[in-house]
Amino acid sequence: MTYCVGIKLDAGLVFLSDSRTNAGLDQISTFRKMIVYEKPGDRFMVMLSAGNLSISQSVREILQVEKIDNGDEPPITIWNATSMFDAVRVLGSAVRRVYDQDGQSLKAAGVDFNASMIFGGQIKGEAMRLFLVYSAGNFIEATRETCYFQAGESKYGKPVLDRMISPTTPLDEASKCALVSMDSTLKSNLSVGLPLDLLVYQNDALKCDQAVCIDEQNPYFQMIRGTWGHKLREVFESLEDPQWTGDAAATNPLCVESTRYEPLRKITHPGEKIV
């Protein structure tokens, strides 16, 4: 399992992925899930992958040479596509090609064809775009209402993203939020692990100068891990305990009558009256 997150903001794009794969408790390995396709000044694209490693590695390799028909024009590749929409269509075609090659063999071996990709970037003359590609090769695009995608073990890191991320979030703040999201996942799921790959892309740059591999010795991530847990405990302890009485002294009483629902009924010992 893995955890990947891609965020599309007004200021740019943020990508973060872990590098752990496991095929059982005694078969844990490190494989990077992020790959960059770049032609400086013309196009910059990033793919994050989750799911079956053999599938995602095959897709990564095929994507570099995959072509889709373009009528009387030359076939479309990720290197000549004039829009990110066409580029992600090429990625979808690569996923389907791998399925055609390996899908039946995997099924016969009892292995699901399971892979998902976050794919985003910018092509000169077009705005930045971000997509989530499913194992069937179909995809959806990020919007201002839903400006981030997750792949893999997503549930633990989702709450902080939902609370903090919006299209106007600055890149550094979004990077911090992505790392907190990853830390929450690392804390709760052993199938996600270091090192991490973090990449930040500035809008219209068509290249990237902000990319880092984060291991357990990284001072900033160590600070995130320690401070986030400490601050959560502080906030938790600052919340009032439940106030079970409804008298005037209670500022936020817990036991108040609901305007919609009746209290839970208690089932007493057989033969006694139900209250």
Domain residues for the domain of 183 are 3-232
Give domain status of residue 244, yes or no: no
Q: Domain for residue 76, yes or no?
A: yes
249 inside domain? no
Examine residue 27 and state whether it is found in any structural domain, yes or no: yes
pLDDT per residue as tens, the chain (275 positions): 799 999 999 999 999 999 988 755 666 789 999 999 999 999 999 999 999 999 999 999 999 999 999 999 999 999 999 999 999 999 999 999 999 999 999 999 999 999 999 999 999 999 999 999 999 999 999 999 999 999 999 999 999 999 999 999 999 999 999 999 999 999 999 889 999 999 999 999 999 999 999 999 999 999 999 999 999 999 999 999 988 876 767 788 888 888 888 877 777 777 665 55
User: Of 138, 86, 143, whose CA–CA distance to 115 is shortest?
Assistant: 138
Residue at 145 is within a domain: yes
- What does DSSP assign to residue 265? P
In a domain, 258, yes or no: no
Residue 133 in domain: yes
Residue 68 · residue 75 · CB < 8 Å: yes
* 273 occurs within a structural domain: no
Region of residue 175 (phi > 0: left; psi between -120 and 50: alpha; otherwise: beta) = alpha
CATH number for position 150: 3.60.20.10
Our count of domains for the chain comes to 1
